[in-house]
Amino acid sequence: MINLILASPPFSEGGLAPIFRYLTCNVAESHILEPETRYFMEKADGQPLRIVAGLPMYNEEETIGTVITNVLEHVDEVICVDDGSSDSSARIAEACGALVHRHRVNRGYGGALKSLFAKAREMDADCLIVLDSDGQHETNDIPKILQPILDGDADFVIGSRFVDGGGSEDMPAYRRLGIKVITAASNLSSDLGIQDTQSGFRAFSKLAIERLRFDSEGMELSLEMLEDAHEKDLKIKEIPTLIRYDVPKGSSFTALSHGFTVLAWAMLSLSQKKPLLVLGLPGFGLFATGAAMGLNAVNGLSDSVDYLVGPGLTAVWIGVLGLAMMATGLVLQAARNFLRHLLIREFGLA
């Protein structure tokens, strides 16, 4: 048994007063379970599979000890990426049995996941399961999130709030709406049909750990990862889970900043994959609007010249903008098709 002193600032009658409380981490017994509670699947060489959990961590001293202790009941090892925390999160995580990788500065969710994947590859992990360190995710769902990978049915599993059997406790309506909008935009570009693209409760097979690569440092990584998996023909599956919103410390991102960042990335990705949809259709709409305004101005030719100048010039620039967007969409679509033909037909790259 290890007793840790943890600083926490609960409210008291005198205001926000820091007090000390004790956190107990049963490190010695946390991952010694009855045989029937663990998966003893083996590799081809007879060695047991190595299942690793990854937790991005930023100032989570209130919850990290409990989360690690619960997660260790279902996995072999836990990696925590301390993303520039200023509290005792890293010290608590290490005392509770986790391997801690530290960032000197806060790099963001994407930066933390890059480090998690790099460490999982170093450790030669067979499965990696990623979940939040704030207690939002139900650790008892880890076995069912891992099961499709262990059965060989998936390379990338998402714990989803929006498939049958999933849910979210106390999820604000505006956040639910924002996730739906982001998911719709993402599915337009990837045709994956994923219902919960923003869930951070995810599991990856060894193949996915080795193949997935991403550039984003922020929350938009959640979409980039899905698109990269789709392009590399990795099997993706959603499993129902429950995600809580009554935890002591939720996401450090506001719903607005999170939504804007991820939606902007989704639209940028959509414009690259379907330029005719993003540029061509709006361009045609602008051109039609300009043409209608121009015809209306011509019909009013009998009126004063001053009356015609404003609408006439407006019609011209709207029409020209529409034509430019249509032309850009056509050029980008042709360039994308040509590059795809070159990569697949000439070089054999998917």
Domain boundaries, the chain: 2-271, 275-346
The alpha-carbon radius of gyration of the chain (Å, integer) is 26
8-state DSSP, 59: S
State how far the Cα of 208 lies from the Cα of 154, in Å rounded to an integer. 10
8-state DSSP, 7: E
CATH code reported for the domain at 2-271: 3.90.550.10
Q: Which amino acid is at 128?
A: L
Q: Is residue 343 within 8 Å of 322, Cβ to Cβ?
A: no
Q: Around Cβ 287, how many Cβ atoms within 10 Å?
A: 19
Assigned token pair, 202: 């995810």
Q: φ and ψ at 255, to 5 degrees?
A: -60, -35
**What pLDDT shows up at residue 321?**
74
Q: Does the reported pTM lie above 0.85?
A: no
State how far the Cα of 89 lies from the Cα of 59, in Å rounded to an integer. 6
> Within a 13 Å sphere around the CA of 230, how many CA atoms are in the beta-carbon half?
15
Q: Is residue 175 within 8 Å of 162, Cβ to Cβ?
A: no
Q: Strand 156-160 vs strand 236-240: parallel, antiparallel, or unpaired?
A: parallel
**What pLDDT shows up at residue 304?**
54
**What pLDDT shows up at residue 14?**
40
For residue 138, list its beta bridge partners. Answer: none
**Nearest Cα residue to 65 out of 108, 97, 100:** 97
State how far the Cα of 271 lies from the Cα of 348, in Å rounded to an integer. 25
**Nearest Cα residue to 219 out of 264, 272, 156, 274:** 264
Q: What is the mean pLDDT of each run of 10 residues along the chain (350 residues)?
A: 40 36 42 42 71 96 95 96 95 96 92 94 96 93 96 95 83 73 67 83 96 80 85 93 77 51 57 61 70 66 54 68 70 60 50
Helix (H), strand (E) at residue 33: none
**Nearest Cα residue to 196 out of 230, 217, 166, 231:** 166
**What pLDDT shows up at residue 35?**
37
